[in-house]
Amino acid sequence: MKNILLLTCCFFTLACFSQKNALTSKQQDTLSIWQLAKYDGASAFGGLKHAYTRPLHWDGEDWATFGFVVGGTALLYFVDDETSNFFLRQDGSSPNIAKEFGERFGSPQVAYGITGSVYLFGLLTKNERVRETGVLLISSATAVGLIQTVLKTTVGRSRPQNGEGKFAFKPFSGESGFRSFPSGHTILSFTTAYAISKQFKNPWVKAGIYTVGMISPISRIVNGAHWLTDVVLSLAISVATVDAIDNYLNGKNRYPNDKNKKGITWNVNFGVGSMGIVGRF
């Protein structure tokens, strides 16, 4: 975990010594790997800042969405006990492989491992599209990681498995049993899945990636680590953060070559007695 944090800090440190203005694809093609890393560091840092300051620039539609999320979560809060009891009853019948996958996929080691691997592949191969995906993953994971760390400590909500009910809070206690909101596994797993899904256009492929990203959130409710409302708000944080950073990268045209390509499209083909998936790059 210390190595992961060190690599993340080094990546963002590159932003202090890098090109702030967007470069054309031809200009990026002439840069060395070190220069590309510095450029990507600036992109990631810019996305991080944009995600944190975006609420200052929300318009009426944004605030309406925010109100809808808060209102919907408030309604779910009234049935938190009932939904928690329902999911806890499913614990014995849940596949162990799903629980294990959910626990591992939402862990910082795996989430940042995937994130770092995607970015390093794009950097070493100088693939602009993959580099952008890696930057989106790194900046999004860092942004939501900091948010969930602060909220867990300040909110101090009791976990369902404590048996103290949904109204039990101990802000700043530091006790592991009072770090229910938000769900770190949910935030990291779905942030990774949602960012990756943006690289595909086929709705079936997107749905498949979303499904994988939802395994961790559901497994955490089933084992009594989080309430349903914890997970719902965590999902909202993930989506809002990834969208904000993705909009920043697109709006600033940090990776222009990506906009001139159709990207990776996947089509599901059905025939008599056959089914296949065709990818076009």
Nearest C-alpha neighbor of 258 from the set 140, 142, 122: 122
Tens of pLDDT along the chain (281 residues) come to 444 455 555 555 555 555 567 777 777 777 788 888 888 989 999 999 999 999 998 888 889 999 999 999 999 999 999 999 888 888 777 778 877 888 888 888 888 889 989 999 999 999 999 999 999 999 999 999 899 989 999 999 999 988 888 999 999 988 889 999 999 999 999 999 999 999 888 899 999 999 999 999 999 999 889 999 999 999 999 999 999 999 999 988 888 865 544 444 444 444 444 444 444 44
260, exposed or middle or buried, with CB in 10 Å at 0-12, 13-18, 19+? exposed
Report the distance separating Cα 39 and Cα 28, nearest Å: 9
Nearest C-alpha neighbor of 41 from the set 97, 117, 123, 147: 123
Q: pLDDT by residue (tens digit) across 192-204?
A: 999 999 988 889 9
Task: Name residue 277's beta-bridge partners.
Answer: 268
The DSSP 8-state label assigned to residue 157 in this structure reads: B
Cβ-Cβ contacts under 8 Å for 176 (sequence gap 6 or more): none
Helix/strand/coil for 153: helix
Q: pLDDT by residue (tens digit) across 2-61?
A: 444 555 555 555 555 555 677 777 777 777 888 888 889 899 999 999 999 999 988 888
